[in-house]
Structure 1
């Protein structure tokens, strides 16, 4: 028996080797691996010389293994070819091609020749992108398994209120497409099988309240919508998990479930109270859409004629969202409000479901000058699929959506575009993007364009939004360390029949 240099149990397997090979291994001073049997005299050497690597590797020769089966084999595809040539004065084998150790030399030369003749041209040749739709879809499936696809806006919670009055006990989200009114509604695009087919990694569910609730029961209705989102996630915990941070998004995605986030749509939901904003955040809301289609007393929306932007209280809302770590969403705001928010915010912002104004002049879309401000801010515009925001009419195609994505990429940069389809809150969708199952087809179409790399596709799909969210969390943590206190500003009380004299 021979004991491994540096300590280690005797290797009884050496006695089973050909005597000539055994003597060679015992006496050869080189660090060769000898066809997987190693060299017991040289395991303390960190690695062998690699003369003709098949591919780059960080492999080091293991030290003091206890079983020959654990040794790295020099012809394993995942490793590199060991330098096998050595000869010593103590070798009893003659310089002929009879010894087993010499076979190693022959095999090394053959593989090295093949590597030089075939591997090098392959290594130096151009990257060949996937050619067929099926190949591209397979690539997308692989990419979305590694990195999450994140959609910025889905209005399923409002349909739950409209269709079943937020009563979930008898609702099977896996089969609602076969039930009325879901089956025939033009506003319904979401169920669990479709979400799974769409490879969705994370979804912002919208806690939406109509503008007509402003100054009435907007706060209560928002709380009820937050509640139904949380119960929906809990009832379908095999598929969903409520998350509040980027770390949790990544963790839940690795588990194979859909990370579910809450976004409050419309600043009128605050009831002009920063305390309500803080309460929404504590309940899990991670973005607030500053306005909807109506003005609030402190901000102007898209469908209004005023151009006042943000009041002093509105600026306090932005600052408090920065302090909390809540994402500022500028979809539905007037561009005056958007510019004011961009000027005040110390954290990146988003447009959770908007497209490019240059291609469709809807007030919901983002003009080029604001796209440039978004790039400067570090934010992201998440492209909407509503046909009236894509082509400004009732019909659109997947290629029309791609035009918006490419335009935002051209003006703002690849780091500043994402996806915010708006499913279940729209009644007309582009051909090829009919429901939440179609995301992979959009990404596969982009991959057919040589200007789009796999890295670009995963940036669009979700990494850009994660970067923004991380930026928001970073500002929150910095302000916390600096002991920035909650904002206590108030708006002058509004006297109406639904307000208390003690407000």
Structure 2
């Protein structure tokens, strides 16, 4: 009977019976139903970084409607991966925009640069009022998405952005930042990074106070980029759910940026969320191994031919020819999601693509337009529309509401104080 239904009648039947009832056999239809009901809320996008690197935050002449022509071969820059057209194609309904600044900056310059990045992203949002809305709460995000606008929130990537000051943390929260990643690729003075030599054995006492004050305010504690010990220290302190805004499963890819199973187990107990990242070397274990082998071969050849760089270069080219570089795939992203769901359940996973911040080169996920392809793959693997709606925005919405509820319950608590340092 279904084969004789017109497309209009089929759509009406799907609406009447529920998103899965009429077309349960079709992965494409399951994905479409989920994204219609719950557009993607992505945890991490680096458009502000692109604006700083490419344009020094000057927006005159910048058109966010379509950035496909922004490649700059002279600066070895690919075209941007994000614009309004492709966000719509990707069914993105809410986005945490990362106001990342370099971890190489000293404290005061990091604070200044963070303020500038908050400013530039707010100006982008204000320049596109039909498509975007600046929001700071879960209710605001729900309202914006219901109105058909992209709910736009801000997240700081790296604790260096507060310059070692809880006063600065509070003021940046007041400006609208709703998460902070405790470190980036380097340690801060109070927290160890996943990609730096341990200096503090996790969090210092001040670092624990940072976590406490963030949760008192209602700011999400983001454990992407931090060491495993920092993860566990933060979870020891946390009284509200935490997030990983853009990380993967260490069991699928052993890179230090990914999350060990033991920490995933604690994340479930915390009722938090891990938003799966698309950065190729964190997604694909074969690619991670290839990069390590390439680095080793480069070092070996340089050691063998210190006075003949052309010989070393030719030798590395020959090695590359004999050892083709693996390509990360959309299916491997789904593998990370599968592992996390099997380990801790669908209620604790989301998406943090890291587009325009390094997620280049994943086959099947070229830019923000490709989320429907990932949802179709997941539906093909057996995820229901209800599952996919939790993944797309239901889980992060729950976590943000919980953080807000904790802050509301502790509104009368005094701010955590620390002395100034200069």
TM-score tier, shorter chain, comes to 0.7 to 0.9
Map 1:276-291; keep pairs closer than 5 Å. Answer: 276-291=168-183
Kindly indicate whether residue 377 of structure 2 is the aligned counterpart of residue 445 of structure 1: yes
Quote the offset at 1:174 in angstroms.
1.6
Distance 1:351 1:196 in 2: 25
Quote the offset at 1:176 in angstroms.
2.1
Distance 2:86 2:148 in 1: 15
2:276 aligns with 383
1:361 aligns with 254
Alignment CA distance shift 1:346-1:364 (3 Å): same
1:191 aligns with 83
Quote the offset at 1:398 in angstroms.
1.1
Quote the offset at 1:177 in angstroms.
1.1
Which structure would you say has the larger Rg?
Answer: 1
Q: Tell me the number of residue pairs that the alignment of Structure 1 and Structure 2 aligns.
A: 363
1:108 aligns with none
Quote the offset at 1:179 in angstroms.
3.6
Q: Choose which of 35, 42, 62 in structure 2 pairs with 1:151.
A: 42
1:210 aligns with 102
Map 1:481-496; keep pairs closer than 5 Å. Answer: 483-490=412-419, 493=421
Across the aligned residues of Structure 1 and Structure 2, the Cα RMSD in angstroms comes to 1.9
Distance 1:470 1:316 in 2: 22
Kindly indicate whether residue 53 of structure 2 is the aligned counterpart of residue 162 of structure 1: yes
Query: Structure 1, unaligned stretches of length 5 or more?
Result: 1-122, 494-502
Quote the offset at 1:161 in angstroms.
0.6
Quote the offset at 1:181 in angstroms.
2.5
Quote the offset at 1:216 in angstroms.
4.6
Q: Choose which of 227, 242, 245 in structure 1 pairs with 2:119.
A: 227
The structure with higher relative contact order (CA 8 Å, sep 6+) is 2
Alignment CA distance shift 1:179-1:295 (3 Å): closer
Structure 1 runs (4+) greater than 4 angstroms displaced: 126-129
Map 1:450-461; keep pairs closer than 5 Å. Answer: 450=382, 452-461=383-392
1:63 aligns with none
Q: Choose which of 400, 407, 410 in structure 2 pairs with 1:476.
A: 407
SS of alignment partner, residue 402 of structure 2: helix
Q: Deviations over 1:1-54 (max 9, x none)?
A: xxxxxxxxxxxxxxxxxxxxxxxxxxxxxxxxxxxxxxxxxxxxxxxxxxxxxx
Quote the offset at 1:148 in angstroms.
3.2
Confirm or deny: 8 A CA contact 1:414 1:460 kept in the other structure. yes
Confirm or deny: 8 A CA contact 2:68 2:79 kept in the other structure. no
> Which has the larger share of helix?
2
2:188 aligns with 296
Quote the offset at 1:388 in angstroms.
0.2
Confirm or deny: 8 A CA contact 2:283 2:333 kept in the other structure. yes
Q: Choose which of 318, 321, 338 in structure 2 pairs with 1:406.
A: 338
Distance 2:256 2:35 in 1: 32
Query: Structure 2, unaligned stretches of length 5 or more?
Result: 1-16, 288-325
SS of alignment partner, residue 392 of structure 2: helix
